[in-house]
Amino acid sequence: MNRSLQMVDLRSQYLKIKPEVDEAIQRVIDESSFINGPAVEVFATNLAEYLGAKYVIPCANGTDALQIALMALGLQPGDEVIVPCFTYVATAEVIALLQLKPVLTDVDPKTFNITAELIEKVITSKTRAIVPVHLFGQSADIEPIMALAKKYNLYVVEDTAQAIGADYSFSTGEVRKCGTIGHIGTTSFFPSKNLGCYGDGGALVTDDADFAGKIKMIANHGQSRKYYHEVIGVNSRLDTIQAAILNVKLRELDKYAASRSDVAAFYDTQLGGIDWLEIPEREKKSTHVFHQYTLKLKQQTDRNQLKNYLESKGIPSMVYYPVPLHLQEAFKTPAKGVGDYPITESLCTRVLSLPIHTEMGEEEKEYITSSIKSFK
């Protein structure tokens, strides 16, 4: 390989849209509209239109988006919020930070996502909300989760940081974008996410005017009129420069998803027949935007060996995630230990994510898959 392999190649992606991005950034600087400049509102409108949602409220990052969403629900300390055990820490962190109680569930070993059946087992009289995570780029099976939420009168906040652009199909035939189905959806524009900016960024999505108003107010120091603070809020804004970049990149998002899908299809055909690993299974009701292409090794002992082997061949790979939430120092409770979330615990020892991005060439894909095939 004459080009060094990377998990994502943001530089090559930038070079293809450089004139538009550079011009967009320069315009913000020329206008000196660094905070809440026109590009922010334009981006909110563009993203709402893309998603088919009524309101998009940009904010500083995906973690803030989750925190602001939970604040907007008006929950009380001690209220329980259900989250998957197999996720990035941000999802559970904000729950704990707000003095709410994260209640973990195991996940479906096929899709890596939580399911209505797993959620129902942990619902109590204190449960107020569910935060499904659309992990690695495909929707959790959200229709039964919404039905459950209705039955128990719970809020649903979709963590869409990894699945922006994915489509979920309802049993009625209706198709909707991930993040627009729950009461509030959140997402992240961290550079390596599918719609990434050149720094930090995030957004909240809702169809509910009341939530939209609360979210806007909370993200802006709890004020809707300058210097009159109605609630305790935070300071969480998307920089105008980031919004300007995102306006350019949003136009490319479907193309980016298609490129990632092509890589995944190639990996599937090349790796599908190998008996010591499993290629990622698809959630039938969702498209997959492949934030990650995640293999499962059948033998735990193979995982780190394959990772090291690939590394020796100049191929990066990543373990998302090596430690289940309930075994993280910060989330340990006396009530839960090893063995309590067996599927998540097993996945943490067996998953390996391969490079997947919008700029992968034939030679790179070939080299990666032929190297994997020569591991055993």
Ligand X SMILES: *Cc1c(COP(=O)(O)O)cnc(C)c1O
- CA angle in degrees (0–180, nearest 5) for 29-32-38: 95
d(C-alpha 371, C-alpha 268), whole Å: 15
Indicate the residue among 90 and 372 with the shorter CB distance to ligand X: 90
Residue identified by tokens 């960024």 is: 201
Residue 90 makes contact with ligand X by CB under 6 A: yes
Indicate the residue among 143 and 200 with the shorter CB distance to ligand X: 200
Residue 102 makes contact with ligand X by CB under 6 A: no
**Helices of type H across the chain:** 10-31, 38-51, 62-72, 90-97, 116-120, 142-152, 209-219, 240-250, 253-271, 300-312, 342-350, 362-373
From the CB of 120, what's the least distance to ligand X, in Å? Answer: 22
Residue 158 makes contact with ligand X by CB under 6 A: no
Binding residue (CB under 6 A) for ligand X from 37, 58, 202, 233: 202
Residue 344 makes contact with ligand X by CB under 6 A: no
Q: Write the interaction track for ligand X spanning residues 131-150; mark x where CB under 6 A is met and - where it is not.
A: --x-----------------
d(C-alpha 69, C-alpha 62), whole Å: 11
The window from 159-167, 177-185, 277-285, 307-315 that contacts ligand X (CB under 6 A) reads: 159-167
Residue 61 makes contact with ligand X by CB under 6 A: yes
From the CB of 64, what's the least distance to ligand X, in Å? Answer: 7
Residue 161 makes contact with ligand X by CB under 6 A: yes
Indicate the residue among 61 and 317 with the shorter CB distance to ligand X: 61
How many Å is the Cα radius of gyration of the chain?
A: 21
Residue 355 makes contact with ligand X by CB under 6 A: no
Binding residue (CB under 6 A) for ligand X from 159, 345, 359, 364: 159
Residue 87 makes contact with ligand X by CB under 6 A: yes
Asked, as a colleague might, if the bond just before 367 is cis with ω within 30 of 0, I would say no
d(C-alpha 188, C-alpha 15), whole Å: 22
Neighbours of 298 (CB within 10 A): 12
Indicate the residue among 61 and 247 with the shorter CB distance to ligand X: 61
Q: Which amino acid is at 190?
A: F
Burial 273-290 (b: 16+ CB within 10 A, else e): ebeebbbbeebebbbbbb
From the CB of 76, what's the least distance to ligand X, in Å? Answer: 24
Indicate the residue among 53 and 90 with the shorter CB distance to ligand X: 90
Residue 85 makes contact with ligand X by CB under 6 A: no
| 326 Cβ contact list (under 8 Å, min separation 6) | 85, 104, 332, 333, 336, 337, 340, 341
Contact by Cβ (8 Å): 1, 314: yes
Q: In what order do the strands lie in the sheet with 277-278?
A: 277-278, 293-297, 351-354
Residue 72 makes contact with ligand X by CB under 6 A: no
Residue 113 makes contact with ligand X by CB under 6 A: no
Please give the residue whose beta carbon sits closest to ligand X in the complex.
62
Indicate the residue among 154 and 161 with the shorter CB distance to ligand X: 161
Residue 88 makes contact with ligand X by CB under 6 A: yes
The window from 87-95, 233-241, 298-306, 323-331 that contacts ligand X (CB under 6 A) reads: 87-95
Residue 91 makes contact with ligand X by CB under 6 A: yes
DSSP structure string for 73-95: TT--TT-EEEEESSS-THHHHHH
Residue numbers of the site for ligand X (CB under 6 A)? 61-63, 87-88, 90-91, 133, 159, 161-162, 188, 190, 200, 202
